[in-house]
Amino acid sequence: MSEVANKNQLFYVDELAAIEEEEPREVLAGTMTLVVGKWNGEVYAVDGICTHAYAELAEGDMDEHCLYCPLHLAAFDIRDGSVIDGPTDQPLSTYEVVVEDGQVWINLG
């Protein structure tokens, strides 16, 4: 389970080695639902709820850098939150990911 860190609004996710390539993971940070995904060794964090209809994106698939909504198959680029394919035209918010000493943190600030 993740815990809030008391430094610069960083939220602890997990060890880097525990985050698998192209396997979206839901992260609950207070009242926020986020998705963390790894592609090409880099970890990214975006809003975890689809901007088209309320659907948890962690329940969808990830293929390379594309994160798919399980409800209507909207596709988002996990690297920058942009829309790759509709039905939505609203991008996802993104969050800075910090990897330090093999630990993954999300900057919520």
Task: Specify the CATH number for the domain of residue 53.
Answer: 2.102.10.10
Residue with tokens 């630990």: 103
The pLDDT assigned to 6 comes to 42
Residue 17: inside a domain, yes or no?
yes
Look at residue 23 and give its three-state secondary structure: coil
Question: What's the alpha-carbon Rg for the chain, to the nearest Å?
Answer: 13
What single-letter amino acid sits at 28? L
Instruction: Determine the structural domain holding residue 101 and report its residue range.
Output: 10-107
The alpha-helical segments, DSSP class H, found in the chain are none
pLDDT, block means (10 residues), the chain with 109 residues: 55 96 94 96 97 94 97 96 95 96 94
What single-letter amino acid sits at 103? Q
The model's pTM is 0.89
Residue 29: inside a domain, yes or no?
yes
The pLDDT assigned to 109 comes to 84
Residue 78: inside a domain, yes or no?
yes
The pLDDT assigned to 7 comes to 56
**What DSSP assignment string belongs to 80-105?**
T--EEESS--PPPPEEEEEEETTEEE
